[in-house]
Structure 1
């Protein structure tokens, strides 16, 4: 029995589960869907840093976590917002992360895609400078042999005067790319600085511009990653994609239905996945998608539907702080030895929020060692002064 604090004050008694669900076996790559987990970075807790100083990363633990994801057949989406890109991890740290993770992927045969953006720039910057920053990062990603993800850019959002500036910038970048890339549309709930991306705050108008970029160079676009937390908008968007261009859901609220897809009578379209919540859910997500690999949609939903409550909790507003819950769960699951984050972001969520995340994750059987998770949660509660 463990006492967990309530959001409205007071505490409740919770009995942790005595054992985890059977750990899904390590496996080969998934076949019915392409699935990326956007992975977090592990901070070096002994580094003498401040929130404004460059990130200090525990490289051994960070790469070990990526090997964990690859061992279950998942791809790794590297240096994305889950890795605290722009929220504690600067471009120098992201570049080193990309180099190290790409080398590790080659060593173990893991799939990897890496974010290329413009976060080496101070704001404001002019459009030409934004383009050059994108080119620098795209070149580095491609030099490592990784697939590139063209991330949404705060600098471009600040510099662009309208849709034409986005069309010109992305058209140039797609011409420069040596291999098909993934385009990333990250909504303002994940980063308020991206409000009005693609040149309009009206999402219908923005969608038209986004699709115009893709239509001009479909051979250079492997897929799109949509993080708008709007399932119907994603369904409508993927119906308009050119043949061969994938939709990777980034919807951490509605992912089971989007990955499962439509009935054949409705077109049979579905989304692949590039999700931050598949960091803590990695083994469970892989087991679920293997059900889809055999045509068992019902089995897929039976495994993944119960995880949505946890995901919605982790990603509740302010959504951009979901990383704190992700790292908490990695610590409780034994993937790292501490609950510290680059930039001190472990303080970004309240204790009741973290306690509920523990409770939901334990209920799903996510912890390989429930006793370890309980012990670590008790130690966190003690730090906050919660009586035993």
Structure 2
């Protein structure tokens, strides 16, 4: 038994799982394109401050990506899960993209990389500055041979006067892109600075602008990643996409139903996936999609539905701090030797929150070595002064 703190105070006893879930590596997934947005591993020995450039443990960071690729998942690199804009600056993201792209080529792994504007310094930026920043990052990603993900830009959200400015910036970038890209609509629950993206705080109006941009350049849009945590809106949006344009769900609350999709009698539409929760769920998520590859939608849901409670816990408000739980679980699972994050973000969630994450992940059998996870959880509890 292990004593875990309760959210309302006091402690409770929990009996850790004795055996891991049996999950093995496998080949490519066939029925869905699935990317895991991967976290970065900090260098715990670096003498840094929260305002310092990120110090990354490159060996551990790349080893985690090899872990994801070994299970048939693609890697979505330098996204918000990698603390883009929350500890990882553009210089660090650029190095991450270069290294991960080279590793992807070496092992034959699928990779798509985030293109943003975070090299712009703090303060007002004009639309010309935003366009130039996007162009610089797009050029770097394309030079590495990776697919580009055009991320939502804080600078564009601040500079744009209305929908026409979004249409101009994205139209310019799509015309310039050498290969089809993924467009990313990240909601303000993930980043408050993105409130009113696509030129309106009304989501219906913003959706029309988003669809207009896609309709004007369907040959340059591989797909869209929607991170609004609104399953109904995503279903409605994917029904309106041009033929050949995919929907990649970024909904960490409703992903099983969105990936499983509609019954054939209802049209059979479905979402592919580009998800932060597939960082800790990687092997189990891949196993579930392999079941779906056989046409077994019920078997897929039976594997993935029980993970939603953990995901909703990690992504609870304030949602942008979900990265703390993701890295915490990677430490418990043995993917890194410490619970340290760039920017000191390991302090962003409470001990009761982390304890519940451990309990849920352990119950799902996510830890290949449950004894190691329990030992590390006990060490954290000792640091916090929880009595044995």
Match of 1:61 in 2: 60
Q: Pairwise mapping of residues 254-273 of structure 1 onto structure 2 (< 5 A)?
A: 254-273=254-273
Q: Equivalent residue of 1:56, what SS?
A: coil
CA displacement at 1:26 relative to structure 2: 1.2
Is residue 142 of structure 2 the alignment partner of residue 142 of structure 1?
yes
Match of 1:28 in 2: 27
Is residue 317 of structure 2 the alignment partner of residue 310 of structure 1?
no
Q: Structure 1 CA distance, aligned partners of 2:103 and 2:154? A: 29
- The unaligned stretches of length 5 or more in structure 2 are none
Q: Pairwise mapping of residues 27-176 of structure 1 onto structure 2 (< 5 A)?
A: 27-122=26-121, 123-176=123-176
Q: Structure 2 CA distance, aligned partners of 1:219 and 1:363? A: 44
CA displacement at 1:163 relative to structure 2: 0.1
What is the number of equivalent residue pairs in this alignment?
Answer: 387
Q: Structure 1 CA distance, aligned partners of 2:167 and 2:137? A: 19
> 1:307-327 CA deviation, whole Å, 9 max, x = no partner?
000000000000000000000
Q: Equivalent residue of 1:283, what SS?
A: helix
CA displacement at 1:124 relative to structure 2: 1.4
Q: Structure 1 CA distance, aligned partners of 2:295 and 2:113? A: 30
Q: Pairwise mapping of residues 185-204 of structure 1 onto structure 2 (< 5 A)?
A: 185-204=185-204
Match of 1:375 in 2: 375
**Which is worse superposed, 314-323 or 121-130?**
121-130
CA displacement at 1:277 relative to structure 2: 0.1
Match of 1:319 in 2: 319
Moved over 3 A (4+): none
Q: Pairwise mapping of residues 165-314 of structure 1 onto structure 2 (< 5 A)?
A: 165-314=165-314
> 1:271-316 CA deviation, whole Å, 9 max, x = no partner?
0000000000000000000011000101100000000000000000
Q: Equivalent residue of 1:274, what SS?
A: strand
Is residue 15 of structure 2 the alignment partner of residue 15 of structure 1?
yes
CA displacement at 1:372 relative to structure 2: 0.2
What RMSD over aligned residues (CA atoms) do the two structures have, in Å?
0.4
CA displacement at 1:27 relative to structure 2: 1.1
Q: Structure 1 CA distance, aligned partners of 2:46 and 2:124? A: 31
Q: Structure 1 CA distance, aligned partners of 2:347 and 2:254? A: 27
Q: Structure 2 CA distance, aligned partners of 1:114 and 1:124? A: 26
CA displacement at 1:237 relative to structure 2: 0.2
- The unaligned stretches of length 5 or more in structure 1 are none
Q: Structure 2 CA distance, aligned partners of 1:75 and 1:180? A: 17
TM, length-normalised to structure 1: 0.99
Q: Structure 2 CA distance, aligned partners of 1:132 and 1:175? A: 14
CA displacement at 1:265 relative to structure 2: 1.4
> 1:8-39 CA deviation, whole Å, 9 max, x = no partner?
000000000101111x2211110000000000
Q: Equivalent residue of 1:49, what SS?
A: coil
Q: Structure 1 CA distance, aligned partners of 2:137 and 2:14? A: 47
> 1:223-249 CA deviation, whole Å, 9 max, x = no partner?
000000000000000000000000000
Q: Structure 2 CA distance, aligned partners of 1:111 and 1:124? A: 36
